[in-house]
Amino acid sequence: MKGIIFDLDGVLLSTDQLHYEAWKKIADKLGVPFDKKINDRLRGVSREASLEIVLEKYNGYLSKAEKEDLCNEKNEYYKELLHTLDEDTIDPKVRETLAFLKNKGFRLAVGSSSKNTMTILHRTGLEDYFDAISDGNNISKSKPDPEVFLKAAEYIFLKPEECFVVEDAEAGIDAAVAGGFCPIGIGLAAEYSKTRFPIKDITQLKDIVFLKI
């Protein structure tokens, strides 16, 4: 194994609360219920797919253009909240683990559906750890389609079978499996049946990546 592809949100940091607050504004505007349980279902999926989940209990009709406007409105709320992020947002164990893996010669990439990936990495000081970024700006299909991970592997010049994928969402694990990657699950994904290696803490990667698999 030569490469490790990381999902962003829920793996390297958590912006769940920021997403929740932004989507809650949209849900309140539409008069539909929205809580943390629904927000958990949005993990790892695109903005457009997330909106469809938010709209499940909406009784009205929305055109494609209106839906696009809502997605853009949500993103503007979210981008405002991103200004609260800084280098202190990142758990020191994340930086320590990334530095360790990079020093051991692993090629590191981010594979995220977020179109705000570069902004987040820049504001938190994580961008220099990664050799490549694949995100919502260069894909046409969201997870569980493996496109974002396949492009990440391509960008670091590796085959899927040479890469681990670290994910916190079932949709992300499904994408990793579909693409032929070795899936490592953290958080909720650690309990998913398709996860090859469940971990509770990102520092456990130091041991897993050297296993003969």
Rg, Å, the chain Cα set? 17
Residue 113 DSSP class: S
Taking the C-alpha atoms of residue 198 and residue 166, their distance in angstroms, rounded to an integer, is 10
Of 164, 168, 163, residue with least CA distance to 200: 168
- For residue 106, give every residue at least 6 positions away whose Cβ sits within 8 Å of its Cβ, in sequence order, or none: 1, 2, 3, 4, 209
- Among the options 7, 145, 168, 174, which is catalytic? 7
CA separation for the pair 79, 115 (Å, rounded) = 10
Assess whether 9 carries a catalytic annotation. yes
Residue 7 is a catalytic residue: yes
**Which residues are known to be catalytic?**
7, 9
